[in-house]
Structure 1
Amino acid sequence: MIRLLTDLPGPAVATTLTPESIVMLPVGSIEHHGPHLPLSTDLIMADEFSRRIADASDQDVWLLPPLAFTKSDEHDWAVGTVWIGWETLMRTVIEIGESVAKTPARTLVFFNGHGGNIALIQVALREIRRRTGLRTFLMNASVPAGDTEAGFGIHGGHGETSIIMALRPELVSLDDAERWVPDHLAEFDQVKFNGGSVSFGWVSNDFGASGVVGDPTTANAAEGAALVAASVAKGVAALEEIARFRHAPGGEL
C-alpha cells in the first residue's frame, strides 16, 4: 500500500506513525541523459521504484515527495541540467532528517536514482544518525550494464534506457540513441568506475560529446520491465531487513 506522508494532516502524523514506521525519501536528479532520454530519467526511476516498493512491502512505509534537484554538476555543461552544489544538498538532506526525527518514526530511508548522489548521502547517513538518533539507510536503483557496454553502462545506456522504455515509453527517442562506450578504459585493472582499487574524477562529456556513457541502442522495453520487477523485489527484501536491523543485538529502535 502506498502511503504518502504529505496526505496526512499535521496532527495525524503524531498519532498515525509509530517507532516501527519507515519514512522513505526518493532522490533523483534533473540532468542531461543524451538525446534519447528525458532530463527526468533519474527522478522517474527514484519516484516510480520507491512507490512500487512501498506498495509491495508489508512494512509501514511512508513516502515523502521526491527530491528532484540534487548534485548532478558532472552534467552542468549540458543545457537543461538543473543542479545544486554538494553543500546545499548535504544541508538539505540533513535538515530533512532532522524534520523526520520530530515524528514518531525512527527510520529514514533514502531511495536514490542518481549515482552522483551516492557518496554524499552515505556521509549524510552518519551525520543524521549522530544528530538525531534515527536509523538511516540508503537504497539505490539497480541498473546493470548491458552486454555491449564493457561494464561502462553507467549513464543513459542500455539499462536506464530499457527502464524508461518500460516506465515512460513516450519519453524515449531510440532513433536518436548512439553507442558511447569508452572501450579504451576496459584494459585498466585498477582504475575503474566501479570495482577497481583506484577511483578517478570525471564529468560526463569526458568520454564523448553526447554525455552518454553506455550503449542505449540495444535497449528494449521487455528487458526494462524485467529490471523494474527485479529492483522492486530487491527493494521489498531490503525493507524487510531494514525493519529488523539493529545496531546492537537486542537494541531498541
Structure 2
Amino acid sequence: MTSFFAYDEITWPEVALLPRNTPLVIPLGAGYDQLQLAAALGAPPRVGLLPALPFGWHGSALSVPDAVLGALLRNLLDSLRDDGFTQVFALTPEGLQLGLEHARIAQPVAARLQPARQQLPPAAAAGSVILFPIGHTEQHGHHLPLSTDNIIIDHISRAAAALLPQLAYSMPLMPYGVSTHRSSFAGTLNSGGRAFEDFWLAVVDALVARGFDRIYLMSGHGGNCSFLTTVVKYAGERHRRIFCATAYLHTAGPAGAAAVKAHRVSAVGGMGHAGELETSMILALRPDLTHMQRVVDETDFVATASYYMDWAEGGALVANPPWDDDTATGSYGAGSVATAAHGHIWLAAAAAEKAEHVREIHEQQRRREQRREAGYGLWGRT
C-alpha cells in the first residue's frame, strides 16, 4: 500500500535522508485519484507530494501559454534531479502540451473535485488591487519546514485583503520561486530566473487582457525579489495604463521594521533566514511544523559596513556569496529566542504594512489616470 507524504512539511535534513528512488510529484491543481497515481508509479511504498501549482495551465482559473508553464515546470523538476532524485514527475490534467515527455503523468480530474469554472480573480474584483502571494519551497535550517515562506506570505496576503475587502483581492499562493543557493542544503527548488520572470509577466498580460489594472506581486522569499522587480519594469513598459508593483519581502518597510525593532530579543544578525522573525511567525501559524529542539543559532555572517545580514541583507553592496560561507545548518539568525507571541505581533504588522501598500497603489493609479485623462505631457498628443 502506497503512502503519501507532504514534501514541503519536512526539513532539509529529512529530505537529505530520503531514498533517491522515492517518487516526487508536483501536481497542477487538485482532484487527482491517489490510487491511480500510485498505480502509475508502480505502487511504491512512499510518494512525496510537493505543493500544487494553483493556476497557469489551460483550464485552470488563470492560464498562461503552455511553453511558459512548461519551462517553469522543467526547472522545478530539474531541481529535484540535481538533488539526486530519479523519479520526479508533474501530475497534470489530460490534454496539455508542456514538453515534459516522460516526466509527466496525465490524469483526468474528478469532476467533484475540479476547481470552479469561475476565473480568478473574479470579475467582481475589477478595480481591486490583485494580491499575488509568491513564496518558495526551500530549506529553512534544521527546525523549520520547507514551506516556511509559503505559510507566512499566504497568511499575510489573506490578512491584508481581509483588512481592505473592498480594495484588495488575494489570489491563491504560488509556492515556487527562485533560489540560486541550492548545492549545500537539500530540498530547495528553483523555478529559474528567466522562466519565473516569463511566467509572471504572462500572468500580468492575462489580467490586463481581462481589464485588471492594479497588481501587487508580494514575495515571501528574498530570492524572488530582484526577478519580480524585472517583471514589474517590463509590465509597466508593456502596459502603460496599469500600476503593477512589488516590494522587498514583508515586515521591511518603516512600520514593519519599527515593530521588529520594538519586540526583538536577538541582536542585529539574529533575524535572518530561519532566525527569530520567521521562526516566531511559524510558531504562531504552524507550531506543529516547528522543531524548536533542533534549532541551531548561527549569527556569524561575514559582515562589513556595506554588506551584512539581519532580516534583510543590508548595506550599499548587492552580492550573492555561497550560503555555506556563513552557515553550516542553512539558518542565518537566532531562532532559539523566537516566540509565538512575537510572531503574532509581527504578522499583524506585516499585514498592516501590505494594506497600506494597497491604499498607495490605488492612489497612484487614480492620480495617474487623472493626469492621463487631462492630457498631461505625451498623453495630450494625438
> Normalization by structure 1: what TM-score?
0.87
* Residues 178-189 of structure 1: pairs in structure 2 closer than 5 A: 178-182=296-300, 185=303, 188-189=304-305
One-letter identity of the residue aligned with 2:162: D
Matched, 1:251 2:371: yes
Shift of 1:184: 5.1
- Counting only pairs closer than 5 Å after superposition, residues 8-87 of structure 1 correspond to structure 2 as 9-10=118-119, 13-14=122-123, 16-18=124-126, 20-87=127-194
Moved over 6 A (4+): none
Deviation readout 1:88-144 (Å, 9 max, x if unpaired): 111111111111111221111111100111111111101012112321111432264
Give the SS at the match of 1:180: coil
Map of 1:231 onto structure 2: 350
* Structure 1, 34-43 or 103-112: larger mean CA deviation: 103-112
- Structure with max Cα Rg: 2
Does the 8 A contact of 1:149 with 1:214 survive in 2? no
Cα distance 1:184–1:97, how it changes in 2: closer, same or farther (>3 A)? Answer: closer
The alpha-carbon deviation at position 11 of structure 1 amounts to 10
Q: 2 CA distance for matches of 1:184 and 1:206? A: 8
CA distance in 1, matches of 2:142, 2:236: 40
Structure 1 residues 57-206: aligned runs within 5 Å: 57-133=164-240, 134-139=242-247, 140-142=249-251, 144=260, 146-151=264-269, 153-182=271-300, 185=303, 188-193=304-309, 194-206=313-325
- Secondary structure (helix, strand or coil) at the match of 2:215 reads strand
Deviation of the 1:227 alpha carbon:
0.4
Distance in 2 (alpha carbons) for counterparts of 1:204 and 1:225? 29
1:17–1:104 Cα contact (<8 Å) kept: no
Q: Matches of 2:156 and 2:350 in 1, distance apart?
A: 7
Aligned-pair distance for 1:64?
2.2
Which segments of 5 or more consecutive residues in structure 1 lack a partner in the other structure?
none
RMSD: 2.5
CA 1:149/1:229 → structure 2, altered by over 3 Å: closer, same or farther?
same
User: Is the 2:269–2:299 Cα contact (8 Å) retained in structure 1?
Assistant: no
Deviation at 1:197, TM superposition (A): 2.2
The structure-2 alpha-carbon separation of the partners of 1:86 and 1:9, relative to structure 1 and needing over 3 Å to count, comes to: same
- Whole-angstrom CA distance in 1 between matches of 2:225 and 2:136: 12
Give the letter for the 1:116 counterpart.
G
Counting aligned pairs with the same residue, the percent is 24
Q: Distance in 2 between matches of 1:159 and 1:224?
A: 7
- Specify every segment of 5 or more residues in structure 2 that has no aligned partner in the other structure, as ranges: 1-59, 62-115, 253-259, 374-382
Distance in 2 between residues matched to 1:233 and 1:103, nearest whole Å: 28
1:59–1:240 contact (8 Å) kept in structure 2: no
Measure, in 1, the Cα distance between the counterparts of 2:369 and 2:120.
Answer: 34
- Structure-1 separation of matches of 2:203 and 2:363: 23
Once the two structures are TM-superposed, the CA of residue 9 in structure 1 deviates from its matched residue by: 1.9
Structure of higher RCO (CA pairs closer than 8 Å, 6+ residues apart): 1
